[in-house]
Structure 1
């Protein structure tokens, strides 16, 4: 498994991650046990948990993944090839401005440095069937009630100002098995989340993009279906020439216990 993933490559390029000088979080380790504890502490039902995904092609390993899978969190290298792809795809897209109870999917803009792990976790639990499994009178329930009626920048400010979110994140980020990095650290790994919307579409959710990215209709399939895993494979294929293999994948799905 990889550790300490965030979005920053060049701290002087504001298109890459939140510039230095803004509020910063300790990078979150890609550890399903820590992530599970984090979301349960925030108010997600214990019937859901994060699980490692060790392969997206080997049947004997695929069989270990609980179903239905409600979200995928992919950690990937932010390489030159990815940055070119991102810029080309985003160039003609308008800035997203969705808000309100009818928003599908829910998207969070990242304005906290090194918080892509937390943003990914929030995307995972705030969308699709998982959102219905959040206790209303809980830290995340109260946070969503305050944030969802607001447009992206105002919503992001709610996240910045939430002491409950910051405390829960710090507790999780300092309990990992790897060396805890500084909140201002520059690393070249990033989280992206894939969810199934209530309209049965697969969405790629990344707080450093211009908004949600519709990756196609899933129908009755979950996010661990062939259609969804093909999008994950696209991330891997982009890095074949660079030789970057530092990917990790976890899924939000029913608990095993």
Structure 2
């Protein structure tokens, strides 16, 4: 049984559920504009080998989308072994558990823009900037509640989701894909930020001259998924199983 909300989102089995986002620069730019995000551009990354050279740099945040078989192969074992992240640490990024159905795209987007360059791309005084200020000191469960209840995020997500270039599943339909965000912090640490995992995952450290699409950066971020994709039919890069968008501060 479901109830349709004014935004078009639905409550399905007691859980607020969205239309999934597409992973393309146009959709992310639309969402960023709605949320008053400034001086940030989004770029399709069409090839990984060799690492792309024709894009602006540094690319210190990535929004990654993988088909469910690829994601499951790459992360199911790891997910079952990680401890639940229950506290906050000022040296860790802002991580938020996902409690909204079909919102993994929004969560990846939020994890990137809230953490990239310590959130400096959020317009001062905007709703998202105020949300970030509130989230910093909260425990993960409380962060999830605040995001779940944020009507402005629901409205912005649903508006952006309808602007995609292909047909997207409705809230009640199976998604079949999962988003993950990656961010390089100011200290060089690389974080995998996924609201479907038990917590943030530190992947390693990059040097000052290395961004997330350097050879080392790609290995720390999407490397596991690319290896998993080799074992999934149609999962290779450039197929339908994987897509990647880079974020660049300007």
Aligned residue in 2 for 1:56:
48
Tell me the distance in 1 between the aligned counterparts of 2:81 and 2:46: 35
| Counterpart contact for 1:104–1:199, Cα < 8 Å | no
Consecutive aligned runs of 4 or more in structure 1 exceeding 6 Å deviation: none
Q: Greater strand share, 1 or 2?
A: 2
**Who is 1:248 aligned against?**
243
d(CA) in 2 for partners of 1:103 and 1:20?
37
1:88 aligns with 2:88: no
TM-score, length-scaled by structure 1: 0.84
**Can you list the C-alpha shifts for 1:52-77, whole angstroms capped at 9, x where unaligned?**
00101146xx1222101120111101
Query: What is the aligned-residue RMSD (CA, Å)?
Result: 1.9
SS in 2 for 1:126: helix
State the alpha-carbon separation in 1 of the partners of residues 225 and 30 from structure 2.
28
User: Can you give the 5+ residue segments of structure 2 that lack an aligned partner in the other structure?
Assistant: 1-11, 236-240
Aligned length: 232
**Are 2:160 and 1:172 equivalent residues in the alignment?**
yes
Alignment of 1:142-153 (within 5 A): 142-153=130-141
Q: Answer yes or no: is 1:65 the counterpart of 2:58.
A: no
Cα 1:130/1:65, change in 2 over 3 Å: farther
- Cα separation, partners in 2 of 1:33 and 1:104, compared to 1, 3 Å: same
Structure 2 distance, partners of 1:252, 1:109, is: 22
Task: Please state how far the C-alpha of 1:40 moved relative to its aligned partner.
Answer: 2.5
Change (3 A) 1:174 1:200: same
Deviation, 1:232, is 1.2
How far residue 20 of structure 1 moved from its aligned partner, in angstroms, is 4.7
Structure 1 runs not aligned, ≥5 long = 1-18
**105, 119, 128: which one aligns with 1:131:** 119
Instruction: Indicate yes or no: 2:27 matched with 1:34.
Output: yes
**Conserved 8 A contact 1:70-1:130:** no
Match of 1:224 in 2: 213
Change (3 A) 1:108 1:244: farther
Aligned to 2:195: 207
Query: Contact between 1:108 and 1:152, CA under 8 Å: does it hold in 2?
Result: yes
Give the secondary-structure state (helix, strand or coil) at the position aligned to 1:236.
helix
TM-score, structure 2 normalization: 0.86
Write the distance in 2 (CA, Å) between the matches of 1:20 and 1:73.
29
The whole-number CA distance in structure 2 between the counterparts of 1:140 and 1:72 is 19
Quick check: 2:73–2:228 contact (8 Å CA) kept in 1?
A: no
CA shift for structure 1 position 244: 3.4
